[in-house]
Structure formats: C-alpha cells, structure tokens
Amino acid sequence: MSAAVVVCQPMYVYRLAFDPAFGRFSPGVLNTLDAIEIVFAALSHEVRRHIVQLLSHLGGELPSGYLAKRFPHSWPTTTRHLHVLEAAGLVSVRHEGRSCVYRLERDRLRHIVGGWLALLDPPTPELTWRSPGPRSVTKGQQR
C-alpha cells in the first residue's frame, strides 16, 4: 500500500505518493478530473464560498482577522475553512509577523472551473457518436 499526500500550488495540484524504492515521497501531477474534484470539494461549504466571494470583491487580499470577523462562528473554524481553501490551491497565504494575509488565486479558480464548464459544451457533429451497425428503420422501404 502506498500513502499519498496532496500538495497544492497556485496553478498545479500534485499528489505525493510514497515510493518504497527510494524511501520517500515523489510527485506526480493529478489529472484534471482529480483537480476538479479537489476544488469543488473545497467550494462545497457555503462559508468557503463566502470567503472566496469576500476575497474577490474586496481586493483579492485580506487578513485572516478581517475574514474571521465576518462570520458568527469562532476564529479557529474560519481558520480551518481557510486551510481547506489553501489546500485546494484557491487561496495562498502570506505571513506578516503574527498575522496571515490570504490572497485569492483567481487564475487557478478560472482554470479549474472553466475547464469543468468546458466539459459541458455540447458535442460538435464530429464528436457525436454514431452506431456503426445498420439502422433498424429504413426510410422509404416497406416490409
């Protein structure tokens, strides 16, 4: 059995799998569907979606204390939500002394969500599946 750790950077998601031959974790880029799954799981909670909206509408970068004051729950709960967004690569954190400033990673969000929306485009005539077999109803012929 191999253990796996997911590490997110602004544009890419990596899965670190334990390689027993080398006795360490080695990176492998997750495929697009795995990255989509991670991002949508992070956005599945309404508070995390609200955090993304706050970061988007209020300049893209906000301190954690400012974000925590916007919610009725405790500061540690807000911090946990921010860590989930950070693990999905949707926000990045910059430490300034004892405070943390969170920044929305718009390009990654557009890339992943836009890629998912592209999967919903209707097929073109070239991509429409046609049966290779004979048709069961032939026009103009009587039985």
Average pLDDT over residues 111-130: 78
pLDDT averaged over every residue in the chain: 77
**Which SS3 state, helix, strand or coil, does residue 75 take?**
helix
Phi/psi of residue 37, nearest 5 degrees: -60, -45
The whole-angstrom separation of Cα 131 and Cα 143 is 22
CA 129 to chain centre: 30
Please indicate whether residue 31 or residue 118 has the higher confidence score (pLDDT).
118
Instruction: Quick: pLDDT tens for 12-23.
Output: 444 444 445 545
Q: CA 39 → CA 8, 84, 126, 131, distances in Å?
A: 10, 10, 31, 36
**Does the pLDDT at position 103 exceed 90?**
yes
**Does the pLDDT at position 33 exceed 80?**
no
Question: What proportion of the chain, given as a percentage, has pLDDT over 70?
Answer: 68
Supply the pLDDT for residue 119.
78
Average pLDDT over residues 24-45: 74
Instruction: Quick: pLDDT tens for 60-94.
Output: 789 988 999 999 999 899 999 999 999 899 999 99
Q: In the chain, what are the helix, strand and coil shares in percent, each to the nearest 5?
A: 40, 25, 40
Q: CA 31 → CA 28, 112, 140, distances in Å?
A: 9, 11, 49
